[in-house]
Structures are given as C-alpha cells and as structure tokens.
Amino acid sequence: MKNNIIEMTRGFFNITVAVNGEKKELAVRNGEFLLDALRRHGWKGTKKGCDTGDCGSCAVILNGKPVLGCLVPAVAAHDGAITTIEGLGSVREPHPLQAAFVEAGAVQCGFCIPGMILSSKHLLDVTPNPTEAEIRKALDGNLCRCTGYVQQVAAVKNAAKTLAGKGKRA
Amino acid sequence: MDAKNLKVVNKPVAKMDAMGLACGEPAFTDDVEIKGLLCGKILWSPHAHARIKKIDTDAALKVPGVKAVLTYKDLPRVPHTTAGQGYPEPSPYDTYTLDNKVRYVGDRVAAVAAETQEAAQEAISKIKVEYELLPAVFDTFEAMKEGAPVIHDEEDSKNIPDAKHNIAAKFDFEVRNGDWFKEADHVFEHSWKIPYLQHCAIEPHVTIAYFDNAGRLVLRTSTQVPFHVRRIVAQALKIPVKNIRVIKPRIGGGFGSKQEVLEDIVAALALKAGRPVKLEYTRKETFISSRTRHPATCRMKAGVKKDGTITDAEMEITLNTGAYGSHALTVMMCSGSHTIPMYRVKNNIKFIGRSVYTNMPVAGAYRGYGATQGFFAWECLMDMMAAKIGMDPVVFRKMNYIKLGEGSPVFKAMGEGREGVEQVITSTGLFEAIQKGMDEIKWAEKKAKYASQTGPIRRGVGVACMMQGSGIPEVDMACATMKMNEDGSFNLLVGAADLGTGSDTILAQIAAEVLGIKADDIVVTSSDTDITPFDVGAYASSTTFISGGAVKKTAEKVRDMIIEVGAKILDKKKEELRLADGKVVAADGASCPLSEVANTSLYYYNQHQITASASHFAHTSPPPFQANFAEVEVDTETGQIKILDYVSCVDCGTAINPQLAQGQNDGAVVNGISHTLSEEMEFSSNGTPLNASFRRYKILSAADTPPVRSFIIPTWEPAGPFGAKSVSEIGINGPLPAVANAVYSATGVWLFEAPFTPDKVLKAIKKAR
C-alpha cells in the first residue's frame, strides 16, 4: 500500500488491514466481500448464514462499528481495523462476554453466537449499563433459531456487570 | 424416586462445546481447509412439473475450471427416500438422485463441480435443458381428485399407496363403542390450517465430500443422522457402506431439516470429479430445496356432554408432502398419535390421515412432527367445547387429560410405519404444570379482569396443554462405548448427534453420575461412523431417553469392571464397594483413586482395557407434558396481536441439565410463537416461492420476541435414565392454540389459519360481526 492506493497483483487487491490488533496484508478478490475474505484467510469464526445481510452471523467490528461482513466489500476495509470473534478472547482466556454467554447457557448450536457477541461488545462499548430493551435492540440484527434469546439477554446483562466491576478495580 | 441425591445429573453443567463456539473456534462443517476443494452447484428446476426432453451439457463442460457435470444420464436410477429414518424407512421410495422429470420449482435438474464458485455458476447457466411442461397441481384436495396430474407416474417407485391420486401415505383408524355422537349434547366441527414453514437453521445445509488416503469417501456434513446418511448415500449411489465415512462436526441447528439425506449429489460429484467437493446451500436454496414443515388442513369433529365428558372425537388430517413423500406417513401418524390420547374420549375415536403429493417444495421432519398440526386443532376445539358448556378451559382440561396409569387405544393402533406399542402413562407432572402456569400468568385474576372490556383494544388469556413422545418405541436404537484412561478420565463414544442441543454434555453427565466423577472427566466424541457406535440420530425427541439409556447402561458396565479391579486393590468384596468422588470406596472408608484402578488394569495386574459398550431401545415412549399460557392484546381495529406474556411449564421428567432443558424449551416456544405471528412461505400461482429470504420470511428477532418464561416441573420417569423424558420438541406446539385461545378470550373470535397476521385477524373479526 502506497498513499492509500490499493495495489493489484494477478487479479487480487492487496489491502492493508489491522485484524484483531495485528497488521495484515490481505490479498482479496475483485468483488469479494469481507466475510468471504476473512474466512478465506482463516478467520472462520465469522459465519455465513444468509449472505444477504439479514441474519447477522457475519457481524464484525470495523473501525469501531458493527458491520455485516457479507455486505461490506473487502476493499472497503483497507487501512482499517477489524475485530473478529477471535480477537475478543480464547478458550483459555475468554472475554467476559464469551464467559457470560457460556455461563448463562446462551450457546446452543453456536452458529449465530460470534456475531451476537460482537454486537453485544459494541453495545457495551458505547452503553456500559444497558437496559433490557437496549440489549434486545442491539441484538436485533442477529437471528437465532435455537434459544429464544432469553439466556442471551441474560448473558449480556451479566457481562455488563462483570465489565463494570473490572472497570472499578482498574 | 427423585433427583435430590444426584450429584452431576440435574445440575447446570456448562455445555462442553460452548466456549469453543463462543470464541469462534473452527468447529462447523465449513470451518476446515481441504486442499483442492471444488465448489458444487445445482441447477434447480424453474418449473413446477416438467419432463426433461433434452439436456445438453457440452457448453458447461467447456467452461474453464469445470471438473464434473452430472445429469440423470450419469447416475444409477435408484428409487429411495431422503427421509433419514431407520431401515426400512416408512417413507415411499419416490426420489432419485437426479431424474428425467422435475416435480417442483427448486427440484434438482443437474449438478456441477468446478474450481471456483464463479466457474460453477457459469457452467450451471450453460446447461441447456428442453422441458416438456406438464400440468401442475398445488392444492392437496385438487391433487387427490380423479384426473389430477399424476406427480409420481414413474413405474419403479416403491411403497406409494395410491400414486394415481397423488397419495403418498394414508391411514384410517376407528375405535367404535356405539353410535357416533349419540351421547353428545354439543357437536363441533371445524378445520384448522398451517402453511408452508421452514426450519431456518442459521447454518445452511453444507457438506464437504472428500477422500481419505485409502480412497474411501468421507462426508463431513451438517446432519442429524450420520448413520442414515451413510446407508442412504450407499444405497442411492450403489457403493458399499464400508467405502463411506460420515462425520458430523458441530452443527448450526437442524430442527428436523437435517434429518434429510441430501448428501447423495455432492458425493456423486466428488466421485465423478475424483476431487473433494463442497456443496453449500444458499439461504434461498435452503428455503426452497431443503425441507419444510408439512402444511396441513386438520378437520376435527368432537362431541361433549354438559358435564364436560368428551364423547367422541374425529380427526381428519390432510398433509401436503410436496413433490416427494419424505416423512409423509410418520408425520401424519404423529399428528394423531401424539395428540388424540391427550384427552379421554368416552365412546368413539376416528383418525383419517392422508399425505398428498403436490408440485410444491418437499416437506419433511420439523420439530413437533405432526403434533404441531394436530394440537392446533385439538386444543382450539377443547376451548370451543369448554366455552359452550360454560366451563373454565383449565377445569375442562383437568377433568379430561390422560392421567397416571391410563393408556389410550391410539398408542397401540398408531405407530410409525408399523403398529404402535401399548403403553400407559408412567409419569406426569401436568397437574403441577397447569397450577404453576395459572399462578404465573395470574389466570383467575386476569380472567376476571378481562371479563368486561370495552374499546378497540382487548386483552385475554389462553391455555393449551401438550404431550409428545420420547423416541420411537421398538424402532429407535442407540449405542455407546466407554473406555478408561490412566488418570481416571474416560472417553465416551456415542453415535448420538448433537446438533446444538447439548446432547454431548447431558450424555457425559449421565455417565459421570454412574461413575461418581465430574462431567468434565469425560471426553465425548460423537457422530463419526468410523469411530462411534451406531445411533439412529437426533430426532423424535429420542436422544436423552434412548441414547441416554445406552450411556447409562455402558457406564454401569464400566462401573462393574472398575469395582472388579478395585476389589483386588483394596482386598475387599465387590459388594462392599461403590464409586464416589473419583474413587472406589469401601463400606469401611478404605478407598483407591480411579487412576490407580486404570493403571492397575492397563499395566500391572491381569492387564486389560476397562471398556464397555451397550445398546438401548425402549418398549414405550413416555410422553413429556406441558401447560402453556398466553396473555395477549388484540387491536380489533388493526388486527395486530401482541403477546404480553407467555408461560410454558414442562414436565420432562428429570431435567438432566436444567439450564439446557430450559434453553430447549425457550427455543421451541419462540419458534412456535414465530409460526403463530408471522411465518409463512408464499408462492406465485405457478408454484414459485416468493419470500425465500430472512428479509421476507420473518422469523422473530430479539426485539420482536415477547416475554417468554419456561418452568421445569420435575417428575421421575421410571423408564428413563435418572428419571428423564424428552424436552426438545414439545414446546413448539403450544403457541398456535394457546394464542388462538387467548385471542378468543379477548375478542370472541376464533382463528383457524396460521399465521395470525393482522390481515387474517381482521378478516376473522369482520366475519364474526
């Protein structure tokens, strides 16, 4: 990348993007969406449920905002910063949201969960102490067919408490 | 017996795969990289009914990157069913991997595998097909008429009871004790309708077919029935079972749609190309060309005496099975067998069932499995009868529902493909469920409060009671294997298919309870036909009851082997020993850790692997019970229904894991509410689906979902593992009748057709005036 111009080699655009805090050069296809580009480069936590922007399984955080990976052209992430589910935490060191989802029994098949956790992450970033209505609104773009959302809403509430506690200690 | 003294069972143990899933670990079918993977695509029929006169693939084969193109000419013609059921499947053999005839918009015409998705798509567009259009039929009643287009006119299909009249399955049954309706003071007869509904698992159908280093075909696939996939793919493609391995990784929801064996075509592509192939349905393809719920018209006629005795009941259900008869018979049977026994009928019972072919998408298994259709009618009719005789609907139900120790002639008469089994109710918490539900919804208070309302906004409360089954008796079988490791941990191998339900976790809990250890001392491997023992798979609410039974038996065998070794180590009699806290413990307090037992058996004395397998099947299918209460607000000027509160109390015996059981019930109920308020697949007049996307086929989101409260009513089922029954399906059947009954209580208007969208509600209100 030179002067914000994306270079193209052999039909691929080379974009520069910080994924989960790590700067990467990614070769993306002409017309490729961020969801497919991320999955092709190994970030399999971003899921494809509809590919039409309706289910929310491919939600990631791009430059501080939740976006749907299936609607954002990969080249639009050039020069940006992306947080995927892999960037939040790991099985060894889960993010409080991930821990709260597990603890509340909010993970059934788990396919919608990465997107849902990222939507929740953005909610708690901007609204640390959300009401139930705010949580439901934030999760409104993430369809789940397994749970009925009861335990997921509880999980976000619990995570908000945990994060608030951490903030106080710090 | 009760669950009080249990240490691992009946506890909210964290679902063992949950953290990996919450962290986005690559766990699903498509989360692996396979070298040289081709992209599979299918050419779907644009016509509802047509014969392929000519099909030319030359141009498609010339597209750069195309490695295989398949039409019916390239494949063996094997009539089979895609219904993933036990062998021999009770569904007609009316399906071919590819055929020279298409029977609905979205039927398979041809398939392609290519290096890229774009090349596959281009090749699909270059397949030239000449169709001879045939008259199509979209309505079940039209389809049964003399002279209607015959959808299955092929000569080699099998077990279609009446192909000429498009009847894919039929069953009639009558209990006769005197003249019909002779004793009845009031007789009611109405029809209730359910439209095309799709499962909407968030992960679409996806399969990767590849070859192991011995050249065997491996199917990594999102399925509920790995063993049936192996058998049916082998049958359809005429390859030996031994040459196929089916692996079920984590599955992104199924709800019955993945009890369907659609893997034959991707397997055929891989075999033709000699390369690995992935076939992933788009959301649109999932809507149209996977499977749906059977749309139904359910006519019920029943008689009641003034004292509340139900004298006679007749159910006539007509299911639309679409172009193929997948689950055509069994869904129809369950619409009666899971519902009619719910209430005592004094004199006469009749069931008339027809599953009918139309040129519409194929129906299959869907959570609820016929009971959804049957209970909508039966439970609304119950409220009609109660209203007529001036009895509270709850009192009327309490008077008539099936009690402990009671049976029903329906259990024996209506099985799934063969005769049913006689059974009596051996556990029920329905009374307590009803009490709890009434308390939570404040039944009496609300009934009184809403008795005199004025103005356009009306509120009401409604009730509906449910039963389901726990597995298919004398049909479903599961097996488990356990082996012990040096540190006193165990591997548990099960064929059972966890499709997100948490069955891996609850099966580990059952084994851990028997062995006196923690659930996380058990490493579960499930659903790999090369590694795990047989299990019919995840359907018919069978896993907890049947697979759980197999795991309990296996763990008991392992326990006996451990005690045998422990007796030597501790120099005690076997009868004095038990397992607790990871140790073999003697009556006098002497003990040795399980790790010592494992090491002794593996390395020191009479060396052997402590391991066992056990199978389980059941002679009965103990029903779970459920009481549902809905409070609604109806805007009689707009027809808008708002659910203010929904309480669902479920008796699933012992909940092996109360948190997961609650999640199952919440999810089932919300799916049912979604059916009730908004879901319906729409079609043009030539059978083309119009709303095959999440944008236009609306399932409830977090903000749409009304308050839903699930309560577990503990009982003890003697035939179940640690007193457990099933929980997964029952909850989906409640919302349609509970909400319909609440709407009646609010407005005095009955709703007969799902979903209860404002236009339909308004029409019903206007009609009533």
Asked if residue A159 and residue A139 are part of one domain, the reply reads: yes
Q: Does residue B193 sit within a domain?
A: no
Per the CB < 8 Å rule, is A54 touching B703? no
Q: Does residue A17 sit within a domain?
A: yes
A7 compared with B405, residue with greater pLDDT: B405
Domain boundary among B261, B289, B317: B289
The CATH number of the domain holding residue A60 is 3.10.20.30
Asked if residue B581 and residue B512 are part of one domain, the reply reads: yes
Domain boundary among B289, B317, B332: B289
Cβ atoms B512, B489 nearer than 8 A: no
- pLDDT for B734 equals 98
Residue B126: is its pLDDT beyond 60? yes
**pLDDT tens-digit map of A100-117:** 999 999 999 999 999 999
Domain assignment of residue A12, given as a range: 7-87
Residue B35: is its pLDDT beyond 90? yes
Domain boundary among A52, A87, A122: A87
**Burial of B603 per CB tally in 10 Å (0-12, 13-18, 19+):** exposed
- pLDDT for B577 equals 98
Q: Does residue A1 sit within a domain?
A: no
Q: Does residue A143 sit within a domain?
A: yes
ipTM of the complex, rounded to two decimals: 0.97
Asked if residue A76 and residue A21 are part of one domain, the reply reads: yes
Asked if residue B124 and residue B22 are part of one domain, the reply reads: no
Asked if residue B99 and residue B22 are part of one domain, the reply reads: no
Asked if residue A63 and residue A12 are part of one domain, the reply reads: yes
Looking at the complex, report in whole angstroms how far the Cα of residue A39 sits from the nearest Cα belonging to chain B: 8
pLDDT band with cut points at 50, 70 and 90 for residue A168: low
Domain assignment of residue B54, given as a range: 34-134+199-289
Asked if residue B22 and residue B113 are part of one domain, the reply reads: no
End-to-end Cα separation, chain B, in angstroms: 54
Residue B686: is its pLDDT beyond 50? yes
Residue A169: is its pLDDT beyond 60? no
**Chain A stretch 55-114, residues whose beta carbon is closer than 8 A to a beta carbon of chain B:** 55, 57, 84-86, 88-91, 94, 98-99, 101-103, 105-114
Per the CB < 8 Å rule, is A110 touching B250? yes
* Rounded CA separation B40/B18 (Å): 31
Cβ atoms B409, B420 nearer than 8 A: no
Determine how many CB atoms are found less than 10 A away from the CB of residue B359. 27
Q: What is the DSSP string of B417-442?
A: SS-----B-----HHHHHHHHHHHHT
Report which residue type is found at B104: Y
Q: Does residue A117 sit within a domain?
A: yes
Asked if residue B118 and residue B94 are part of one domain, the reply reads: yes
Q: What is the mean pLDDT of residues B704-712?
A: 98
Asked if residue A82 and residue A12 are part of one domain, the reply reads: yes
- pLDDT for A3 equals 54
The CATH number of the domain holding residue B550 is 3.30.365.10
Determine how many CB atoms are found less than 10 A away from the CB of residue B639. 18
How many domains does the structure of chain A reveal? 2
pLDDT band with cut points at 50, 70 and 90 for residue B712: very high
3-state SS record for B1-57: CCCCCCCCCCCCCCCCCHHHHHCCCCCEHHHCCCCCCEEEEEEECCCCCEEEEEEEC
- Angle at CA of residue B364, ends B362 and B365, nearest 5°: 165
Q: Does residue B551 sit within a domain?
A: yes
How many domains does the structure of chain B reveal? 2
- pLDDT for A4 equals 67
Q: Does residue A78 sit within a domain?
A: yes
Asked if residue A105 and residue A161 are part of one domain, the reply reads: yes
Q: Does residue B122 sit within a domain?
A: yes
Asked if residue A118 and residue A158 are part of one domain, the reply reads: yes
Asked if residue A80 and residue A119 are part of one domain, the reply reads: no
Domain boundary among A52, A67, A87: A87
pLDDT band with cut points at 50, 70 and 90 for residue B585: very high
Residue B419: is its pLDDT beyond 90? no
Residue A162: is its pLDDT beyond 80? yes
Asked if residue A82 and residue A19 are part of one domain, the reply reads: yes
pLDDT band with cut points at 50, 70 and 90 for residue A2: very low
Asked if residue B203 and residue B104 are part of one domain, the reply reads: yes
Asked if residue B64 and residue B22 are part of one domain, the reply reads: no
Cβ atoms B689, B362 nearer than 8 A: no
Cβ atoms B106, B44 nearer than 8 A: yes
Q: Does residue B44 sit within a domain?
A: yes
Q: Does residue A133 sit within a domain?
A: yes
b (16+ CB within 10 A) / e for B49-72: bbebeebebeebeebeebbbbbbb
Asked if residue A103 and residue A57 are part of one domain, the reply reads: no
Domain boundary among A66, A87, A108: A87
Asked if residue B129 and residue B22 are part of one domain, the reply reads: no
DSSP state of B734: S
Residue B691: is its pLDDT beyond 80? yes
| % of chain A beyond a pLDDT of 90 | 89
Asked if residue A106 and residue A35 are part of one domain, the reply reads: no
The CATH number of the domain holding residue B70 is 3.90.1170.50
Per the CB < 8 Å rule, is A145 touching B669? no
Q: Does residue A2 sit within a domain?
A: no
Domain boundary among B289, B305, B320: B289
Q: What is the mean pLDDT of residues B247-258?
A: 98
- pLDDT for A8 equals 81
Asked if residue A82 and residue A13 are part of one domain, the reply reads: yes
The CATH number of the domain holding residue A108 is 1.10.150.120
Q: Does residue B69 sit within a domain?
A: yes
* Closest Cβ–Cβ partner in B14, B283, B500 for A102: B14
**pLDDT tens-digit map of A49-87:** 999 999 999 999 999 999 999 999 999 999 999 999 999
**pLDDT tens-digit map of B16-27:** 999 999 999 999
Cβ atoms B629, A110 nearer than 8 A: no
Per the CB < 8 Å rule, is A146 touching B200? no
- Strand order of the sheet with strand B101-102? B101-102, B50-56, B128-133
Looking at the complex, report in whole angstroms how far the Cα of residue A7 sits from the nearest Cα belonging to chain B: 23
Asked if residue B84 and residue B22 are part of one domain, the reply reads: no
DSSP state of B628: E
DSSP state of B183: S
| pTM for the full predicted model | 0.97
Q: Does residue B181 sit within a domain?
A: no
Residue of B87, B119, B106, B84 lying closest to B221 (CA atoms): B84
**pLDDT tens-digit map of B148-170:** 999 999 999 999 999 999 999 99
Cβ atoms B468, B374 nearer than 8 A: no
Whether A159 has its CB under 8 Å from any CB of chain B: the answer is no
**pLDDT tens-digit map of B165-219:** 999 999 999 999 999 999 999 999 999 999 999 999 999 999 999 999 999 999 9
* Rounded CA separation B536/B147 (Å): 40
Q: Does residue B169 sit within a domain?
A: no
Asked if residue A113 and residue A150 are part of one domain, the reply reads: yes
| % of chain B beyond a pLDDT of 70 | 100
Per the CB < 8 Å rule, is B702 touching A51? no
